[in-house]
Structure 1
Amino acid sequence: MEIITGVERRRRWRAEDKLRVLAEAAQPGARTSEVARRHDISRGLLWYWRRQLRQGRLTAPHAPEPLFLPVQVSDAAASAPVAPTAATDPRIEIALPDGTLVRVGADVDAAALRRVLSVLRR
């Protein structure tokens, strides 16, 4: 319940918040009316934001530019004995500058890896 004691004013939504609400509404099984109610907005506003997104008028203002990171490729077989399973289970290891280490199988879905790395960058 929200109690308004003064003059009600329009809320200002940041683009990141709009995109977060739109992503929530786009989840499988999500109901537009429930998402709108949860965020205390009208369904019409949610549809308006969707239209803005489709038209390219709603974007994250500070999207980081893609950058290349140094990659170090090592030959594990030359430096240390390798277990027999290493040849059948190749792994990709990504070390981020903050010390975070991500290890995934070579068969990882590119979209899934992109989602994981985008969360780690925050």
Structure 2
Amino acid sequence: MEIITGREGRRRWSTPDKLRIVAETQEPGVAIRAVAARHDICESLLFTWRRQVREGVLRAASDMAMFMPVQMIGAAPTESMPSNPTPPLAASLRSTPTSGLIEIELGNGQHVRVGSDVNLGALRRVLAALRE
């Protein structure tokens, strides 16, 4: 006799599990239907995960960038810079809402552009290195 006590909740698949299952579908001669049945998931869910991998939405944590690209524009000539520059009290921050970029103008004529979602700790380290 089977006693049904209630509705089961949704399963939560971790990103590594999703990537492992998607990788199974990419082996030669493997049917998506068979992979879906083996893991007891709907084929449509598997196709969704495959699309997310293709679009870069679903990816391993090691594939994610650790630093944002930084571009320096028009550094001031070295002879005009003081030998011991003091960092400005407040760097000029200009945010461009349409592009999501923040441009930081340092007191010594250097500019740094970063994404609005930049890691604050990483940005502090970059700015400290530029002040040296």
Q: What is the TM-score normalised by the length of structure 2?
A: 0.43
Task: From the two aligned structures, give the one with the greater strand fraction.
Answer: 2
